[in-house]
Structure 1
Amino acid sequence: HERAVGASGAFAIHLRKLLGQDCPEHNVFCSPVSTSSALAMVLLGAKGSTVAQMVQALGLSSVEDPHGGFQSLLPQVHRPGAPYSLSIVYRLFSEESCEFLPSFQESCLLFYQAELEPLSFAKAPERSRNHINAWVSRKTEGKISELLAKNSTDEESRLVLINAVYFKGKGGKQVDKSCTRKMPFKVNQKEQRPVQMMFQEGKFPWAHVSEGQELTMLMLPDEGMDLSMVRQGSGHVWPCLGEQQVEKSLTSEKLQTWTSPEQMERTKVEVFLRRFKLQEEYDMGAVLQALRVVDAFHPGKADLSGTVVDSELCLSKFLHRSVVEVNVEGMEAAAARAVMVIPGCCLKSLPVFCADHPFLFFIRHNATHSLLFCGRFTSP
């Protein structure tokens, strides 16, 4: 699964930058592993230039077969008996008049444990929408209950790819609620908003890196996961360069190096981490077209002839939603290890790590080192 993880890491950084570049004041949150595996599932039935565009977007070479990698990776992420509950679900819903090829159905089950389902979009689009929403809600334990908005499907819908992610940790070291206090969150240099901040003091993996600016890494271990954070600047002072510069220069290789065990040393640290919850939904069709995956979404150009008998079929929609929540009861997310890139920390007699202004975060699965989630928290 190493190649799938590596490709997903590069895809994750690129995807997160795309989602956040047009509206730097907006929060961003997505699951690159689930998005890339869902796209790879469609790749099973794609041909011609449709394949070439998907392969390039995923960071793979034209001769690589990613399916064996995901076949190995996904069961490890969904490991029975794990100290967390994680659901990465995707399913292709097609118009019932379209007939899936048996070979495509078998491959989806073999490599991605994904089933395909025909629905009557042409005759009952609203009933089909409700059916999809009920399936997503059931698979995510009610965490994601209304993925498809009203009128988001119609009589012309033919192939809808749904991708939803939910995570709930079993909780590691609990934070005493008396250690939660109201503090200002600096949205920007002119605006502040009150938020609840959790305080912890203890020995945590900690490191500094100089990349033309000071970066500080902190890892908060939890049972079966690690919440790792990377921030830039000093103390409670707004950094001179800001998180946007960190975003632009960040790569998958840099993130992996900065948060490696060789880089970090256990140090006693005062940690202030605010409560936050993000639930974001994206039309991945529009995002992927920005990554030059164009043909798959256009009738007459898409070659999904290895998917269904009707060779004129194209993807009508590709929707993605994921959820993350951090509070005094432990981390709950649509994952298993988080890295936050935050502008602002100085070395005093006792270092202070205060997440009191916009930050980037990345949640990684420990055993496979795969980036399950990435995001940016900009505004409470």
Structure 2
Amino acid sequence: MYEDSNQILSLDNPRELVKPRIQVYSRTTCRREIKMRVRILPLSCLIFLATTVHAALPTCLTENDSAQFPSKTDHLNLYSSEQAFTVSLLDAINKATPSENIFFSPYSTFHALLLAYFGSSQETEASLKNALRINWAQNKMQVMHAYRHEKQLRARAAKNSSIEFNSADKIYVSKETELRDCMKNVFNEELETKDFLQAPEESRNDINKWVEGVTRGHIKDILVPGTITQLTKLVLANAAYFKGSWSNKFNPDNTRKDVFYSSPDKQTFVDMMYKKGTFNHGLNERLGAHVLELPYEGEDPRMSMIIFLPPFDVNGVENVLSKLTPESLEQALNEGMPREIEIKLPKFSFEKSVEFRPVLERIGVGNIFEPSANFSGFSEKQNLNLDDAIHKAKIEVDEEGSTAAAATVLFSFRSSRPLEPAQFFCDHPFLFLIYDVQSRAILFAGIYRGPEK
């Protein structure tokens, strides 16, 4: 089932402010652990740490919040923004960590930065608005309505879903930080005061325990000693957890040792899973890749693993990324047709940590990490800026759980379709998404380039 620790705005009262999601901001490290086994267990946490340099109001997010009414299409615009953000972030991470496996949660990263956006002003606000691809919005309140509507839809879906997705946010504020009263009300559930000045290590341990709880014990010690100091004033934290089983599981008896081609001159034996069945499959000539959808179990599957399989080439994945846009992604996700497919997927697990500050700066978040950052939306009496952001993720895949796929060497790119059954052999690097089909949200994304030592 889906769980969401945040309160949601009632559609019956569009003026009632509710609590959104957050991620940690300060000099903290951000770690995401994600586990996929018999069930896919993606876990994610993004933490930003900030230091200081120095009853809900109607003018909290805009000059007149009460005059802003939600639109029926705003949440769709938010989904489109998240897809565009995902494409940009995936490309930036790939350039920062070339030739490595990648796994991260664009969903939690996007929502964490949304929280920063709600508290930003002037140049900082403009940069975040561009980075988040939310220029369609006239003001923050319009984004807030869309954000809450998305959360409400997800909460409704949780009631009847066999898939578990839990995402939670926290705003940890030092006792000395004077927050605006309206922000205390808007984020009342997420806000928690910490004595960073007198008890930085105790505060760090408390945050780690919260993350560990949200991720069912899979992410531990997100913040290492020294990341929370007496100078810490604000921590925005988001943690996400996902667990799902394949609707059509792999038979362990069919798993065999097989070769995975990481590159033309590097091959490794892996445990390769095998199954044959009917799945949505498409050949996307625009991206130059075959696309396969593997749904998670449920009467009406809402979540799927989407695998992009380029031809075997030194730059196969990079070529796909260079052509990946929100439009080409949407086309690839929509054009699959049911057909009988023979599938080979490697069993794998890996853990990745990414220093997110340079990655986020690459996609244009502006001065959020500089002393010149303006987060006066949070506090008008103290100047807050973010210091760092580090992301950690872990994924495990086996016969019964969510799987990351690779591509086949034998694919040719022509419009005609091969004879049934088609072969989708993931024996070289591939790109994958964990995708919410109903909401069109990309929860997790990654690139698998082979087993790591």
TM over 0.5: yes
Q: Say if 2:427 is the partner of 1:356.
A: yes
CA contact (8 A) 2:171 2:190 kept: yes
Q: Say if 2:133 is the partner of 1:59.
A: yes
Q: Say if 2:362 is the partner of 1:287.
A: no
| Most deviating of 302-311 and 200-209 | 302-311
Distance (Å, rounded) in 2 between the aligned partners of 1:280 and 1:103: 38
Q: For 1:174, which of 249, 254, 264 is the aligned residue?
A: 249
| Most deviating of 242-251 and 322-331 | 322-331
Distance (Å, rounded) in 1 between the aligned partners of 2:85 and 2:434: 14
The answer for the alignment partner of 2:328 in structure 1 is 254
The answer for the alignment partner of 1:310 in structure 2 is 381
Q: 1:70 to 1:348 in 2, by over 3 A?
A: same
Aligned to 1:73, the other structure's residue is in SS state helix
Corresponding letter in the other structure for 1:90: D
Tell me the TM-score normalized by structure 2.
0.74
The answer for the alignment partner of 1:18 in structure 2 is 92
Corresponding letter in the other structure for 1:178: D
Q: 1:104 to 1:282 in 2, by over 3 A?
A: farther
Distance (Å, rounded) in 1 between the aligned partners of 2:85 and 2:148: 18
Corresponding letter in the other structure for 1:232: P
Q: Say if 2:294 is the partner of 1:220.
A: yes
Aligned to 1:187, the other structure's residue is in SS state strand
Distance (Å, rounded) in 2 between the aligned partners of 1:197 and 1:160: 42
The answer for the alignment partner of 2:117 in structure 1 is 43
Distance (Å, rounded) in 1 between the aligned partners of 2:445 and 2:100: 14
| Bigger fraction of residues in strand | 1
The answer for the alignment partner of 2:183 in structure 1 is 104
Aligned to 1:195, the other structure's residue is in SS state strand
The answer for the alignment partner of 1:245 in structure 2 is 319
Shift of 1:97: 1.2
Corresponding letter in the other structure for 2:357: G
Distance (Å, rounded) in 1 between the aligned partners of 2:353 and 2:325: 24
CA contact (8 A) 2:408 2:424 kept: no
Corresponding letter in the other structure for 2:310: Q
The answer for the alignment partner of 2:236 in structure 1 is 161
Q: 1:138-182, CA deviations, whole angstroms, 9 ceiling, x for partnerless residues?
A: 011111112112222222222222222210014422222101111
CA contact (8 A) 1:183 1:197 kept: yes
The answer for the alignment partner of 1:83 in structure 2 is 162
Shift of 1:368: 0.3
The answer for the alignment partner of 2:15 in structure 1 is none
Q: Say if 2:317 is the partner of 1:231.
A: no
Aligned to 1:295, the other structure's residue is in SS state coil
Q: Say if 2:214 is the partner of 1:139.
A: yes
Shift of 1:341: 7.3
Shift of 1:19: 0.9
Distance (Å, rounded) in 2 between the aligned partners of 1:240 and 1:366: 31
The answer for the alignment partner of 2:344 in structure 1 is 272
Q: 1:151 to 1:191 in 2, by over 3 A?
A: same
Corresponding letter in the other structure for 2:342: E
CA contact (8 A) 1:137 1:144 kept: yes
Distance (Å, rounded) in 2 between the aligned partners of 1:297 and 1:362: 29
Q: For 2:148, which of 71, 78, 93 is the aligned residue?
A: 71
Segments of 5+ residues of structure 2 without an aligned counterpart are 1-74, 412-417
Q: 1:197 to 1:250 in 2, by over 3 A?
A: same
Aligned to 2:243, the other structure's residue is in SS state strand
The aligned runs of 1:118-133 (5 Å cut-off) are 118-133=193-208
The answer for the alignment partner of 2:171 in structure 1 is 92
Q: 1:132 to 1:115 in 2, by over 3 A?
A: same
The aligned runs of 1:185-200 (5 Å cut-off) are 185-200=260-275
Q: 1:219 to 1:342 in 2, by over 3 A?
A: same
- Computed over aligned residues only, the root mean square deviation of the Cα atoms, in angstroms, reads 2.2
CA contact (8 A) 1:126 1:153 kept: yes
Aligned length: 362
Distance (Å, rounded) in 2 between the aligned partners of 1:241 and 1:97: 52
Q: 1:288-338, CA deviations, whole angstroms, 9 ceiling, x for partnerless residues?
A: 222332322222x12211212533122234444444332112228xxxxx8
Q: 1:20 to 1:214 in 2, by over 3 A?
A: closer
CA contact (8 A) 1:94 1:158 kept: yes
Segments of 5+ residues of structure 1 without an aligned counterpart are 333-337
Shift of 1:5: 0.3
Q: 1:171 to 1:269 in 2, by over 3 A?
A: closer
CA contact (8 A) 1:44 1:107 kept: no
Q: For 2:439, which of 341, 365, 368 is the aligned residue?
A: 368
Distance (Å, rounded) in 2 between the aligned partners of 1:177 and 1:102: 57
Distance (Å, rounded) in 2 between the aligned partners of 1:97 and 1:220: 50
CA contact (8 A) 1:345 1:353 kept: no
Q: 1:314 to 1:18 in 2, by over 3 A?
A: same
Corresponding letter in the other structure for 1:230: F
Q: Say if 2:284 is the partner of 1:209.
A: yes
Q: Which has the higher contact order (CA 8 A, sep 6+)?
A: 2
